[in-house]
Amino acid sequence: MSNRMWGGRFSAGPSAIMEEINASIDFDRKLYAQDIAGSKAHAEMLAARGIISKDDAGKIAEGLDAIKAEIDGGTFTFSRALEDIHMNVESRLKEMIGAAAGRLHTARSRNDQVATDFRLWVRDTLDHVDGQLADLMRALVKRAGEHADTVMPGFTHLQSAQPVTFGHHLMAYVEMLARDRGRVQDARRRLNECPLGSAALAGTSFPIDRHMTAASLGFDRPTANSLDSVSDRDFALEAMAAASIIAVHLSRLAEEIVIWSSAQFGFVRLSDAFSTGSSIMPQKRNPDAAELVRAKAGRIIGDMNALLIIMKGLPLAYQKDMQEDKEQAFDCFENLSLVIAAMTGMVDDLVPNVARMAAAAGSGFSTATDLADWLVRVLGLPFRDAHHVTGRLVAVAAERGIELAEIPLADMKTVHDGITEAVYDVLTVENSVRSRTSHGGTAPDNVRAEVKRWTALLG
């Protein structure tokens, strides 16, 4: 029996194993809306160029709309024997409108068809991610404004370093996410060229208008080289690279939420909405949402790596290996969308323990740098000398088990006779953060200015 997809070249159908490994309908059905949109644009162009009749184009458009309604409504029957979304749609179209359906595939191939569908899907997905990131940024900016004056420890090497404000800490992630949005938007701009009309690999002899189909589908222009059009998936790789960086940023914030919500830190509390319990330990409150955000970063990065490996040794043009591109991208962005939503929920949900943060902010001699700066600014010491004097005072405090502000002035003078009572003004965490007024610094007024700026930018 001749294969109904491939025509007269094959006299028999594929084996069950071949059908199993070859079919992609189980996952590429996600492209149905993009596939139908591309087919409608193609049919409209074919009619405009006189390649098919306007009557046939009208029947094709009506049939495709009906098919989309069936899929939207869950009444469409997908067939694995028809391999992919393209052939499933075309087969159903033939059932609906008859011979006119066979004219739809004029001057195109499944190669340029899937490349177009996939670009449309990635473009739609990037638009969705961009909106989600904006929502997360708004949540962070709102919380930062509420806590512009809330002091907390700033860390390097996860050791207490200098006091900062909780608002300033949250605004650091706003800056990261802004760059993430820039990468998403850049990837979208670069992918926004239309492969449709490149056919299998060499273009077509039909007098098609690729600029028309590109414009109809919202692309900036058609792709310039038919081989490149069907051969590369760098648009998906770039989008997934951007997704991986986003996931890393969210994983870092998730890790901090895990640390902050521990009994040892106690800086924040998540409600029951984003916590779970233990099957054996009734006292436990586990920040599972944050932990899963952290874990899914690995999955997202793995998806990108898988596609890189799939593509790395392929000659031009289309190879069947590239069928494996979509599952990676679908998984990557489904999980990314979920973790952005989860993080936005957690940022809205978490309740900072202001008193615990403030108490911790002054521990670990966190104002030592302020002391060194005071020695430079007031006594005129070279910074390296000031660093040495401060180090000796830290050693005194550590030996006695007290903080720097608790060292009597007389004892400070034994280390450097020029130290005066005024030094105690710089040893409080509140004065420390207020003094960090340099551009980008943690001073509360700086934080409020950044909150105001980002609130306006985000709308």
Supply the pLDDT for residue 1: 35
Supply the pLDDT for residue 17: 80
DSSP code of residue 282: T
From 157, 205, 438, 439, the catalytic residue: 157
The average pLDDT across 238-256 equals 98
Q: Quick: pLDDT tens for 334-368.
A: 999 999 999 999 999 999 999 999 999 988 888 89
Supply the pLDDT for residue 218: 98
From residue 271, give the alpha-carbon distance in Å to each of 278, 287, 299: 15, 9, 26
The average pLDDT across 298-308 equals 97
Supply the pLDDT for residue 10: 55
Looking at the predicted structure, is the pLDDT value of residue 149 above 50?
yes
2 confidence band (pLDDT: 50, 70, 90): very low
Instruction: Give catalytic status of residue 229 as yes or no.
Output: no
From residue 307, give the alpha-carbon distance in Å to each of 116, 217, 296, 330, 403: 18, 26, 17, 12, 54
- The share of the chain scoring above pLDDT 70, in percent, equals 96
Q: What is the mean pLDDT of the chain?
A: 93
Q: Quick: pLDDT tens for 58-101.
A: 999 999 999 999 999 999 999 998 989 999 999 999 999 999 99
Looking at the predicted structure, is the pLDDT value of residue 24 above 90?
no
The average pLDDT across 378-398 equals 95
State the pTM of this model.
0.91
Supply the pLDDT for residue 285: 78
The average pLDDT across 275-293 equals 80
The average pLDDT across 160-187 equals 97
From 2, 15, 278, 363, the catalytic residue: 278
The torsion angles phi and psi of 140, rounded to 5 degrees, stand at -65, -45
3-state secondary structure of 156: strand
The average pLDDT across 50-57 equals 98
Supply the pLDDT for residue 11: 56
Nearest to 97 by CA among 148, 123, 62: 62
Supply the pLDDT for residue 282: 64
Contacts of 191 (CB under 8 A, 6+ apart): 119, 122, 123, 235, 238, 239
The torsion of the CA quartet 64, 69, 71, 73, rounded to 10 degrees, works out to -170
Supply the pLDDT for residue 144: 98
Chain position carrying tokens 């926004």: 192
275 confidence band (pLDDT: 50, 70, 90): confident
The average pLDDT across 420-438 equals 93
Instruction: Give catalytic status of residue 278 as yes or no.
Output: yes
- The share of the chain scoring above pLDDT 90, in percent, equals 86
Supply the pLDDT for residue 73: 97
Q: Quick: pLDDT tens for 400-426.
A: 999 999 999 999 999 999 999 999 999
Q: Phi/psi class of residue 162: alpha, beta or left (left: φ > 0; alpha: ψ in -120 to 50)?
A: beta
